[in-house]
């Protein structure tokens, strides 16, 4: 009941709200909500800025899922190969990154990229001037606005998010690898298959369900990144780096509040994720039946 009341009802309500023109006045009293029909959606879908935001979100999610999966899988395979002691050390290290709350993780990365005393700024300053100039066109990085241009901003955000999410993939893949019969891999090796072929022909097909679920979960998580972005951008002022979650939040809560319009954006985000979720639920149910 609680779950239904607190999650399904708001879900219905956000859809209902998205069809109204809601501002501060509606929030205060018992004033009727002015009906807006599809106006909010028309306004958003017709807005070129929304299309930019949507493109940013999709590109960001795609890049992050891909990087997280590749890095996570590689680390998972690595953990499976390492000796017992080494594997424990690496796994603990990886878990530490995972355990870090999103907010402190983002704050630390922001400090690393601080434009005066940050370690990364120092590293780039330490590059030979000629090399730095040839690569980036300037040699002095002090005061460089790491978070001002969308390109560097999204690169750093990607770094932060991948750093935070690859451990989960690595640990899950490792758990899956433990279930692959050693004889199968041995047989493949005897038959002369290299690591590349062994992975694609044996490991990957066996672990396909694991990979499927990991991809779906990562997609969902990366689509709605909020905390890290909020921290790195220092709030919601910088429109050039908006993605759907933060866009919806900013429209609804920065003055003047437009709850209806924000809801419409939230509905669009939800629909995208529900589509991905449908895939996830089908996978899990199929496995429950198969098990």
Partner 1 sequence: MRRRWWSRAAANAAGVLVALFAVFPVFWMVSTSLKPNREIFSATPQPVPHHPTLQHYRDVLGGDLLPGVGFGSFFRNSAIVAVATVLAGSLVALLAATAVARYRFRFRTAFLVMLLVVQMVPLEALVIPLFLMIRRLGLYDTLASLILVYLAFSLPFAVWMLRGFVAAVPRDLEEAAEMDGASRWQTFWRVLLPLVAPGLVATSIFSFITAWNELIFALTFLSDEGKYTLPVAMTFFFGRDDTAWGAVMAASTLLTLPVMVFFLVVQRRMVSGLVSGAVKG
- Distance between CA 143 and CA 166 in Å, rounded? 31
- Distance between CA 283 and CA 211 in Å, rounded? 11
Rounded least distance, CB 239 to partner 1, Å = 18
Binders of partner 1 in range 118-147 (CB under 8 A): 119, 122
Count the alpha carbons within 13 Å of 161 in the hemisphere toward its beta carbon. 31
Whether the link from the prior residue into 256 is cis, omega within 30° of 0, is yes
Q: What is the dihedral of CA 195, 210, 95, 103, to 10 degrees?
A: 130
How long is the chain?
291
Residue 35 main-chain phi, psi, to 5 deg:
-70, 135
Taking Cα atoms as reference points, which of 169, 165, 173 lies closest to residue 204? 173
Stretch that binds partner 1, among 35-43, 51-59, 101-109, 150-158 (CB under 8 A): 101-109
Stretch that binds partner 1, among 52-60, 148-156, 197-205, 275-283 (CB under 8 A): 275-283
Binders of partner 1 in range 24-53 (CB under 8 A): 27
Rounded least distance, CB 188 to partner 1, Å = 16
Instruction: State which of residues 58, 139, 193, 220 lies at the interface with partner 1 (CB under 8 A).
Output: 220
- Distance between CA 75 and CA 94 in Å, rounded? 9
Instruction: State which of residues 67, 144, 248, 250 lies at the interface with partner 1 (CB under 8 A).
Output: 248
When asked if residue 99 is in the footprint of partner 1 (CB under 8 A), the reply is yes
When asked if residue 223 is in the footprint of partner 1 (CB under 8 A), the reply is yes
> Within its chain, how far is the Cα of 208 from the centroid?
21
Can you read off the two tokens belonging to residue 13? 């309500």
Binders of partner 1 in range 68-97 (CB under 8 A): 75, 78-79, 81-83, 86-87, 89-90, 93-97
Q: Which is nearer to partner 1, 137 or 194 (CB)?
A: 194
When asked if residue 168 is in the footprint of partner 1 (CB under 8 A), the reply is yes
Rounded least distance, CB 159 to partner 1, Å = 10
When asked if residue 235 is in the footprint of partner 1 (CB under 8 A), the reply is yes
């Amino acid at each position: 009941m609680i779950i239904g009341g607190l999650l399904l009802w708001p879900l219905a309500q956000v859809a209902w709200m998205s069809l109204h023109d809601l501002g501060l006045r509606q929030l205060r009293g018992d004033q009727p909500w002015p009906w807006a029909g599809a106006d909010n959606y028309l306004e958003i879908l017709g807005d070129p800025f929304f299309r930019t935001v949507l493109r940013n979100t999709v590109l960001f999610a795609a890049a992050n899922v891909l990087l997280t999966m590749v890095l996570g899988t590689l680390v998972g395979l690595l953990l499976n190969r390492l000796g017992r002691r080494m594997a424990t050390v690496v796994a603990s290290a990886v878990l530490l990154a995972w355990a870090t709350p999103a907010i402190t993780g983002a704050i630390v990365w922001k400090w690393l990229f601080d434009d005066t005393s940050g370690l990364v700024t120092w590293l780039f300053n330490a590059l030979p001037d000629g090399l730095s100039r040839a690569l980036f066109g300037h040699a002095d990085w002090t005061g460089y606005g790491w978070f001002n241009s969308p390109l560097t901003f999204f690169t750093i955000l990607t770094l932060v998010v991948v750093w935070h999410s690859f451990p989960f993939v690595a640990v899950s893949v490792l758990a899956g690898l433990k279930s692959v019969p050693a004889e199968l891999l041995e047989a493949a090796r005897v038959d002369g298959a290299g690591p590349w072929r062994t992975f694609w022909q044996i490991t990957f097909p066996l672990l396909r369900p694991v990979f499927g679920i990991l991809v779906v979960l990562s997609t969902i998580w990366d689509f709605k990144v909020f905390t890290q972005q909020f921290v790195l951008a220092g709030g919601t002022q910088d429109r050039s780096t908006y993605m759907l979650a933060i866009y919806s939040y900013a429209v609804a809560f920065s003055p003047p509040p437009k709850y209806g319009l924000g809801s419409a954006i939230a509905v669009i985000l939800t629909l995208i994720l529900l589509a991905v979720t449908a895939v996830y639920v089908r996978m899990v149910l199929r496995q429950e039946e198969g098990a």
